[in-house]
């Protein structure tokens, strides 16, 4: 019996080695075919290769991964990078001479993209500025139609790069695809499009529609700048989002850490043993550091301060406002502010010692954006006399942003 099991294990080992060798040889041949085109290949690229790309499929969510970076130039000298992006397969990016507004072009809308859609010659074009969409299509329409004769077309303009999805994996097919794509990049370089030059793209990873924010998959340094749990060990800050929101410095992250505990157990014969078990913990954190003086108060936040009630029973049922200074809270939460909170339904938050903390519940880009937008409107709605009482000659956020 033992010899039979040994033979089975040996056969499984041989099969595993053979399969592994097959895939290794195939991988080496693939890389060789790419380099034979005069291209460079990086099997373990960093996300830095996607810095500046902020339009879908980029700039969405947190779990961003790339693989197999292939770099080179087309026959016309247009620099390109091709890489595998998450589950989307291979994506091509061709360098443009200057940044342009975002634009999407394909047989249907690009998932996640925001803008006005219009049909142009059988294509669905999405852009925030219709004039830019018309100018771009006038420049690239012929090149797009020529590419469509032999290749699928799913394109976007993202800062200073033309992006194409659906790139074939094999070297010769990839070359043909890139050569068909290059005339579109060249058409986007036309001086006729100079009036549409856009701001410089982000210098790091960012979030779609918030190009000024920075996203870092991990950066433990920012744990020291927020109110985070200090007990335990192996503290990490993941999915860090940094931004400036009308002068307020924003830090969002998920804090991970570990704790150990001793577990004692007794078996059926009365023998006692102990063991150490490790528990993993996490907490989402979102804080805004105020550059101006403001009083302390909280909304649906447990703990400090006396509850302040208002004339709106609907508001009092939905929100518990607490403050050590009831008059200050009453001045801040005037009737229009109460109506705004009832519409906005913000997450619980507290303003204390110059910081605003939100009870995120879950660290997602959408929740962080919602909190940031809410906070701007909230502070813009604070009456001028309240700011004056706090020592400000002018409200630090324009009343035009109150959204009331």
What secondary structure letter does DSSP report for 7?
A: H
Q: Is 113 helix (H, G, I), strand (E, B) or coil?
A: coil
* Distance separating alpha carbons of residues 85 and 68, to the nearest angstrom: 9
How many domains is the chain partitioned into structurally? 2
Let me know whether 66 and 181 are in one domain: yes
Distance CA(84)–CA(30), nearest Å, equals 14
| Residues 133 and 223 both lie in one domain | no
Q: How far apart are CA 141 and CA 292, in angstroms?
A: 51
Q: Would residue 262 count as lying in a domain?
A: no
**Separation of alpha carbons 198 and 104, rounded Å:** 16
Domain match, 91 and 220 both:
no
Per-residue tokens: 285: 């954190």
Indicate if 89 and 233 belong to the same structural domain: no
What pTM was estimated for this model as a whole? 0.88
Q: Does some domain include residue 390?
A: yes
Position 142 in a domain: yes
* Pair (229, 187) in one structural domain: no
State residue 338's pLDDT score: 95
| pLDDT value of residue 266 | 83
Query: What is the pLDDT, as a whole number, of residue 218?
Result: 96
Residues 228 and 183 in one domain: no
Q: Are residues 174 and 111 in the same domain?
A: yes
Has residue 18 been placed in a domain? no
Q: State whether 133 and 72 are in the same domain.
A: yes
Domain extent at residue 394: 214-256+283-401
Alpha carbon distance 395, 382 (integer Å): 8
39 in any annotated domain: yes
- Residues 148, 237, single domain; the answer is no
Amino acid 124: pLDDT: 96
| 225 and 360 part of one domain | yes
CA distance 375 to 362: 18
CA neighbours within 13 Å on the CB side: how many for 86?
13
Q: Give me the residues paired with residue 306 across strands.
A: 323
For 247-335, list the strands marked E by DSSP: 248-266, 272-289, 297-299, 306-308, 321-323
Say if residues 160 and 96 touch (Cβ distance below 8 Å): yes
Q: Which of 94, 155, 88, 85 is nearest to 126 (CA)?
A: 155
Cα–Cα distance, 145 to 143 (Å, whole number): 5
- 355 strand-pairing partners: 289, 352
3-state SS, residue 197: coil
Same domain, 219 and 367: yes
Asked whether residue 204 is domain-assigned, the answer is: no
Per-residue pLDDT of the chain (404 residues; tens, 9 = 90+): 566 777 776 666 666 666 665 556 666 787 788 989 999 999 999 999 999 999 999 999 998 999 999 999 999 999 999 999 999 999 999 999 999 999 999 999 999 999 999 999 889 999 999 999 999 999 999 999 999 999 999 999 999 999 999 999 999 999 999 999 999 999 999 999 999 999 999 999 999 999 999 999 999 999 999 999 999 999 999 999 999 999 999 999 999 999 999 988 887 777 888 889 999 999 999 999 999 999 999 999 987 788 999 999 999 999 999 999 999 999 999 999 999 999 999 999 999 999 999 999 999 999 999 999 999 999 999 999 999 999 999 999 987 777 66
Tell me what pLDDT residue 219 has.
97
Cβ count near 310 (within 10 Å):
17
Is 9 contained in some domain?
no
Residues pairing with 95 in the sheet: 161
What pLDDT was estimated at residue 398?
A: 85
Whether cis (ω within 30° of 0) applies to the bond prior to 345 is no
Residues 174 and 302 in one domain: no
- Could you tell me if residue 10 is inside a domain? no
Cα–Cα distance list, 90 to 155, 162, 164, 271 (Å): 13, 14, 9, 59
**Which structure tokens are listed for 173?**
């097919």
What pLDDT does residue 272 have?
86
């Amino acid at each position: 019996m033992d010899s039979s099991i040994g033979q089975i294990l040996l056969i499984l080992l041989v099969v595993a080695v053979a399969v592994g060798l097959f895939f290794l040889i195939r991988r080496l041949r693939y890389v060789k075919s790419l380099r034979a085109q005069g291209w460079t290949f990086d099997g373990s690229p960093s996300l830095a290769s996607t810095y500046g790309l902020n339009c879908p499929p980029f700039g969405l969510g947190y779990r961003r991964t790339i693989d197999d970076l292939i770099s080179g130039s087309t026959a016309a000298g247009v620099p390109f990078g091709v890489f595998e992006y998450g589950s989307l397969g291979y994506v091509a990016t061709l360098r443009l001479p200057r940044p342009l507004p975002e634009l999407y072009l394909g047989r249907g809308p690009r998932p996640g993209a925001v803008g006005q859609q219009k049909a142009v010659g059988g294509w669905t074009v999405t852009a925030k500025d219709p004039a830019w969409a018309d100018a771009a299509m006038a420049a690239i329409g012929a090149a797009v139609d020529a590419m469509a004769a032999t290749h699928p077309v799913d394109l976007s303009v993202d800062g200073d790069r033309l992006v194409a999805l659906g790139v074939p994996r094999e070297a010769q097919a990839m070359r043909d695809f890139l050569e068909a794509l290059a005339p579109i990049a060249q058409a986007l370089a036309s001086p006729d499009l100079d009036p549409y030059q856009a701001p410089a793209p982000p210098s790091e990873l960012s979030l779609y529609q918030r190009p000024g924010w920075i996203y870092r998959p991990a950066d433990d340094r920012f744990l020291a700048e927020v109110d985070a749990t200090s007990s335990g060990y192996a503290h990490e800050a993941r999915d860090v989002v940094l931004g400036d929101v009308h002068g307020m410095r924003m830090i969002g992250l998920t804090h991970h850490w570990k704790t150990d505990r001793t577990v004692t157990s007794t078996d059926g014969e009365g023998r006692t043993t102990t063991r150490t078990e490790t528990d993993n913990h996490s907490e989402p954190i979102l804080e805004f550091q105020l550059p101006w003086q403001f009083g302390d108060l909280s909304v649906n936040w447990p703990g400090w301060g006396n509850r302040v009630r208002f004339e709106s029973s609907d508001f009092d049922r939905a929100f518990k406002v607490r403050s050590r200074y009831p008059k200050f809270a009453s001045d801040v939460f005037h009737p229009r502010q109460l109506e705004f909170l009832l519409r906005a339904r913000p997450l619980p938050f507290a303003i204390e010692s110059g910081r605003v903390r939100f009870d995120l519940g879950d660290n997602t880009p959408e929740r962080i954006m919602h909190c940031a937008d809410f906070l701007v409107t909230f502070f813009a709605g604070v009456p001028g006399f309240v700011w004056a009482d706090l020592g400000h000659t002018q409200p630090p956020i324009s009343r035009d942003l109150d959204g009331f």
